[in-house]
Amino acid sequence: MYHYFPGNYTWSLAVHTALRCGAQIGEIDRGCSKLRDLEHPTAEDWVEAWSGIAEQQESLAADDLARGYEISAGDRLMRASIYHIMAERQMTLGDRKAECYRRHLDCFGRAVKLSKMPWERIEVQIPEGTLPAYFIPAPGPGPKPTMLFFDGFDTSKEILSMTVRDNFARRGLNILVVDSPGVGEPLRLHGMPSRPDYEVPASAYVDYLETRDDVDSDRIGVFGVSLGGYYAPRAAAFEKRLKCVAAWGAILDWGETWKDRWARRSPTVSVPHWQLPWVMGTETMDEALERVKQWTLVDVLPLLTQPFLILHGEHDQQIPLRDAYGALELAGSADKELRVFTLDEGGAEHCQCDEPNIAIQLIADWSALKLAAVTV
């Protein structure tokens, strides 16, 4: 992985995340190069740099709009939304974090509208509250196979929509990119923590998809990225209306992963450690470490029956490769596959953050084939 910030995995990973969403390296460099000159850059320095990049793009988008250049303005606002969320993800809780997140949502919503992208915002309900998502349709008439896409520990439906864009639609697949408990809007705007029984939100989304005329309700699958590698297999193990499942990054026992991370104060994390209690809905790290023990697939994977794809990097610095092999061995699916990306070919880092396109293409191709093969 290229370290834009030498020796700082977390900040360098954020640069890779921004680029996979469509950010421009020149814009990033104009705003962030000064951070590399600081002897001890702080989180506040980070926020100022990325917020500055976002505000510049918002200003330039306003200039484009004044000239009637709506598509150009939409493109700039999409990048502004990326830069706002990159700033927000490293912030501690507080009013500025909430403001930055709302600006991210505002820029993204305006960008979708101005760019005339066929992305439809929808909402479903569970007893705990509202779960929002973006429905990205495949072109053409008639019902289409559909993939449900779960976030990870620190991503959002906007980040993931900008990541996948039309790669599933080009293969004739709709995709529903969701914010579920513990991520995105449910966490940030409504205080909804994560939950181990992810079949509950998954079933709510499947219920919704079954109401749409453009969805083939017999051909719905699910995948998740990073911690979504827990959410998606967990959901599929108990929600059999999901006909295939892919883990973009294996998770076996996330509680054990966090026990090790915290003991070592591991520096190879995507966001600071304080985010775990926030996502778990606890007051302290000790409480979070106790609660997160429930996030294990050891007893769940044997219940899987659907086709199962695992993608993992040979040099994943967040989740060890042995977890991917362990998940493959435990999975009850007769049709199961582990794809390990190597250092030589690229994509060897966590969730192929160093070269994400190869993972996106594989998941989309695999999903199209597996859902096409479903016998109704």
Structural domain spans, the chain: 9-114, 120-372
Task: Give Cα separations from 259 to 197, 273, 329 (angstroms).
Answer: 21, 12, 23
Mean pLDDT of the chain: 97
Taking the chain, what is the end-to-end CA distance rounded to the nearest angstrom?
Answer: 44
Stretch 6-30: mean pLDDT, rounded?
97
Tell me which residue of 195, 202, 217 sits closest to 148, measured CA to CA. 202
Assign 221 a pLDDT band (cuts: 50, 70, 90).
very high
Stretch 203-216: mean pLDDT, rounded?
98
pLDDT tens across 59-84, in order? 999 999 999 999 999 999 999 999 99
Contacts of residue 273, defined as CB under 8 A and 6 or more positions apart, other chains included, come to 261, 262, 265, 285
| Residue-by-residue DSSP string for 191-243 | -----S-THHHHHHHHHHHTT-TTEEEEEEEEEEETTHHHHHHHHHHH-TTEE
Stretch 290-310: mean pLDDT, rounded?
98
Asked if the model's pLDDT at residue 3 lies above 90, the reply is yes
Structural class in CATH, domain 9-114: mainly alpha
CATH code matching the domain that covers 120-372, chosen among 3.40.640.10, 3.40.50.300, 3.40.50.1820, 3.40.50.1370:
3.40.50.1820
Assign 301 a pLDDT band (cuts: 50, 70, 90).
very high
Asked if the model's pLDDT at residue 119 lies above 90, the reply is yes
Assign 154 a pLDDT band (cuts: 50, 70, 90).
very high
Asked if the model's pLDDT at residue 45 lies above 90, the reply is yes
Assign 376 a pLDDT band (cuts: 50, 70, 90).
confident
Strands of 308-313's sheet in order across: 120-126, 129-136, 174-178, 144-150, 215-225, 242-248, 308-313, 336-341
Stretch 135-156: mean pLDDT, rounded?
97
